[in-house]
Amino acid sequence: MVESNRVLVVDDEPRQLEILRTILKREGYEVDAATTTEGAVTQLRDAPASVILTDLKLPGRDGIDLLEEAARLAPESCVIIMTAHGTIDTAVEAMKKGAFDYLTKPLVRDTVVLAVRRAMEKTRLLSENSDLKKQLVDRFSLANVIGDHGKMQEVFRMVMKVAPSASTVVIYGESGTGKELIARAIHYNSPRASRPFHAINCAAIPEPLLESELFGHEKGSFTGAIARKIGLFEQASGSTLLLDEVGDLGLALQGKLLRALQEKEIRRVGSTASIPVDVRILAATNKNLTRLMQEGRFREDLYYRLNVLTIFLPPLRERTTDIPRLVDHFIARHAALAGKALRGIDRQALSVLMAFSWPGNVRQLESAIERAVLLAEGPAVALADLPQEIHEDGADGDVALEIPDTGMSFEALEKALLQQALRKGGNVSRAARLLGMTRRTFQYRAEKFRLSRAAQGDPQLLSEWSGADSEEPPAPPAPDGAPRAPDRERVKV
Ligand SMILES: Nc1ncnc2c1ncn2[C@@H]1O[C@H](COP(=O)(O)OP(=O)(O)OP(=O)(O)O)[C@@H](O)[C@H]1O
Ligand SMILES: [Mg+2]
């Protein structure tokens, strides 16, 4: 970063140089001086300046040469050119070559001070901006995505393989496994990294609104469209757009999305004009798209168009060896936010965390830690600081859930786990605890499978549902062993 307070003044007239030095020092700047372009370049190599105030006419290489050197040596600095009357054309040329401002001689004190102040401000904003960008890039660089487990290492290798291209990538994973984090890592490792990353949750927005969110609309195209709206495809042109929960997209919009992907152009709602867009699409889903496609709820052509490259994020319970590092990472993050000095976690608490099944994956682990950090009274996070459902899970002693083998769709897996928990726990509260969820969440999820009466504790239904020959047995694995796509579909870069 450029030092914020340094001005380099370049003039071959010693008297002029001295006057400028005095004026600027009085304004509180650190001032360096040079009488030639060569001298200025040497100084810039030693210590970058935020503002360079240079005479246009210098012996040997002139102010324009210095402007070019400064663009290379100190790209964030602003150059102000001083010219004599009658050399305005050259001043214009200097502006075209990127000078920030020019001043005509004889110089007026206030004009000089004002120009330098404005240039300083500009440099400060520029460097703040590039710091922010760097922070963003760092935050989403793979270095901050934790995963020593082989399955995560495989994910990271895929991220680095797919990042450079503009191809569509589908990221599969249960809720909370880090799909959005991985999408951002792809973007920030791609040639589009300097543009902002865009994301939209397709499950959270009703279809008509979603269409105008994605493609925009013209004023008056429907009741309430009081102004033109530029949609995400246009905003994200040149950048990346994550379509989160893409499995929830309705069939009509799926058709429009396919068209946008194939034609690389969109139409705003209420307009017939096609607008070219260059968007890299990433899609995330916790649903099994193969299954949705077989059920006719996801267009086959869109499925194949999206599924060019795929990344599968493992659930946390399949990589429990990553839990200690994740815990440290989240303790450090949340202790810093809360302004607490915590020395990690004690052994007992950590072993409970490692034994837990984490149905909500990394997101659930992070919120458990966030809460524990706030509650912790000792020097380290202890068992008592963990949410009840997690440490009571240990108290359920011998009751442990068996995780059905993979190859099941996420929905089937979820249902199988709910059933198993209910069977082993014997009642809703205990079942919920076994899964590390609240009673309400358990009921909500069970309801999803039209099992509300069982979830409310109807004993007859309870046994019916939790029995082996239930009316709705856990769905068998999809014929192709979905959601994992066959290898040939996986990477083609
Ligand atoms: N490997 C990881 N290392 C560090 N933090 C992680 C990791 N995976 C996930 N997280 C954190 O966990 C939280 C959830 O991650 P993210 O939002 O990416 O998950 P998701 O799969 O998109 O979840 P959902 O399905 O609920 O939308 C975020 O705060 C994220 O920073
Ligand atoms: Mg998400």
DSSP 104-145: EESP-HHHHHHHHHHHHHHHHHHHHHHHHHHHHHHHTSGGGS
Structure tokens belonging to residue 36:
């030639």
pLDDT in the model for residue 485: 35
Strand pairing class (265-267; 274-276): antiparallel
* Residues lining ligand 1, Cβ inside 6 A: 145-147, 173, 175-181, 286, 329, 362-363, 366
Q: Could you tell me the sign of the dihedral formed by the alpha carbons of 150, 151, 156, 157, in that order?
A: positive
Closest by CA position to 185, among listed 146, 149, 148, 151: 146
Confidence of residue 441 (pLDDT cuts 50, 70, 90): confident
| Residue of 171, 362, 365, 411 best suited for mutating to test ligand 1, as the one with most atoms within 8 Å of CB | 362
pLDDT in the model for residue 490: 32
What's the burial of 367, exposed, middle or buried (CB within 10 Å: 0-12/13-18/19+)?
middle
Least reliable range by pLDDT among 418-422, 462-466, 469-473: 469-473
Give the pLDDT mean for 319-330. Answer: 94
Cα of 8 from ligand 2 centre, angstroms = 49
The residue behind tokens 């005509």 is 104
pLDDT digits (tens, 9 = 90+) for 402-425: 666 656 777 777 888 888 888 877
Q: Whose CA is nearest to atom 8 of ligand 1?
A: 178
Confidence of residue 202 (pLDDT cuts 50, 70, 90): very high
| Whether residue 157 has pLDDT greater than 80 | yes
Determine the Cα–Cα distance for residues 490 and 409; give it in Å rounded to an integer.
18
Least reliable range by pLDDT among 16-30, 86-100, 107-121, 198-212: 86-100
pLDDT in the model for residue 403: 64
| Whether residue 398 has pLDDT greater than 90 | no
| Whether residue 344 has pLDDT greater than 70 | yes
| Whether residue 479 has pLDDT greater than 90 | no
Confidence of residue 321 (pLDDT cuts 50, 70, 90): very high
Confidence of residue 473 (pLDDT cuts 50, 70, 90): very low
pLDDT in the model for residue 409: 73
Work out the mean pLDDT of the chain and round it to a whole number.
Answer: 84
Cα of 239 from ligand 1 centre, angstroms = 22
29: β partners: none
| Whether residue 316 has pLDDT greater than 90 | yes
CB 9 within 8 A of CB 53: yes
Determine the Cα–Cα distance for residues 433 and 237; give it in Å rounded to an integer.
46
Percent of the chain with pLDDT over 90: 54
Give the pLDDT mean for 209-233. Answer: 89
Q: Whose CA is nearest to atom 25 of ligand 1?
A: 175
Give the containing element (helix H, strand E) for 66.
Answer: helix 63-73
* pTM for the structure as a whole: 0.60
| Whether residue 12 has pLDDT greater than 90 | yes
Structure tokens belonging to residue 393:
């899970």
Atom of ligand 1 nearest to the CA of 365: 12
Q: Which ligand is nearest to the CA of 175?
A: 1
| Whether residue 67 has pLDDT greater than 50 | yes
pLDDT in the model for residue 450: 59
pLDDT digits (tens, 9 = 90+) for 132-153: 766 666 666 777 899 999 999 9
User: What single DSSP character describes residue 403?
Assistant: P
Confidence of residue 168 (pLDDT cuts 50, 70, 90): very high
Determine the Cα–Cα distance for residues 246 and 201; give it in Å rounded to an integer.
8
| Residue of 172, 285, 363 best suited for mutating to test ligand 1, as the one with most atoms within 8 Å of CB | 363
Closest by CA position to 424, among listed 389, 466, 393: 466
Chain centroid, CA 378 distance in Å: 34
pLDDT digits (tens, 9 = 90+) for 369-397: 999 999 999 899 999 999 988 876 554 44
Give the pLDDT mean for 284-308. Answer: 94
Helices (H), 140-249: 150-162, 179-188, 207-215, 232-235
CB 256 within 8 A of CB 277: no
